Homo-oligomer: A and B are copies of this chain.
Amino acid sequence: MTLTSIYLEQKKNLNKIEKQLESALKATHPVIHEAALDLLRAGGKRIRPLLVLLCAQYGDASRKAVYDSAVTLELIHMASLVHDDVVDDSDLRRGKPTVKAQWDNRVAMFTGDFIFAKAVELIAAFDHKEAHLHISRIIRDLSLGEIDQIKELYHVEQNLRVYLRRIKRKTALLLALSCQLGALSSGCSSDIGLKLYYFGYYLGMSYQMTDDILDFVGTEEQLGKPAGDDLRHGNITLPTYFAIHNHGLSSVIRGVLALKDTKATQWNAVIQSIRDCGAIQDSERLSGAYLRKAIETLDRLPKIRATRSLKEIADYIGKRKY
């Protein structure tokens, strides 16, 4: 079983979700319509709907509530992407935004609000109080994660707990909820729902750590931006944390972040040091530990086809290179 074969197996169901996303985002409002089309065209891996669909196989995957859950969670993900794109401090410091960009920013914010509202509207359609509460909490946690990220920028000495809390809110909880709601909306027991929640949580933590590692080791071509982009924007992620705490790069990193106009060569040197010092291996070790926890959770689930698919997804995340 490969990731491709999993996607192929779910192609029909994913297409159905794609149609529902399209109809949820269909707005008579021209600006929203344009923004929504852009989002849909941009596509994305639809990993959250895929997890919902797979986890629903522990129950009755054909239920309407399964699809509603998948669409709702993907809409929340999209809305948070839109808000995430609203220009930040670091972009300003590099001389942007233009007036035009700022105009688009405010529109982006309200477009995100619109998409959130559509997600909330969908929740009304399915009668699952617990699901409703979970979904409102995920919107809350995503906003907290974003605020954490802004406030913790350039805090060089943040401890590991702070980083872990941030990526939990930013990434892991939504994947956890995708798995749990997949189960609950298909009529599974809350016990299976909870196990799948933990699978998604550990998977999400590892997924974000891998993202943070790739930001350092990927090529500019793979990343679509220079390596070390997080650090260049003051975002202290796992490799930087280990470089500071395990490999004595504290003063080097502190130095480069304190400069007003850091030259490209200075940045490149620091990023190369982080790559070479062993921080990447430390990060991979921690990411791997979370991934093993995810896989262990699968061992305590019924042995159905979906269990193998979830295992395959976990393995893929462990190996992915971009």
Which positions in A face B, CB cutoff 8 Å?
27, 29, 31-32, 83, 86-89, 92-93, 99, 102-103, 106-107, 109-114, 116-118, 120-121, 123-124, 129, 132-133, 135-137, 139-140, 142-144, 146-148, 150-151
Contacts and interface: CB of A to CB of B under 8 A. Distances in A.
B121 A31 contact: no
Contacts of A29: 144, 147-148
8 contacts: A86-B109, A89-B99, A107-B147, A107-B150, A110-B143, A110-B150, A113-B116, A120-B123
A116 B144 CA distance: 12
A102 B120 contact: no
A86 B86 CA distance: 11
A107 B151 contact: yes
Contact of A137 (B32, B116, B117): B117
B99 A83 contact: no
B83 A102 contact: no
A32 B120 CA distance: 22
Nearest to A147: B110
A174 to B, nearest CB: 13
A113 B110 CA distance: 11
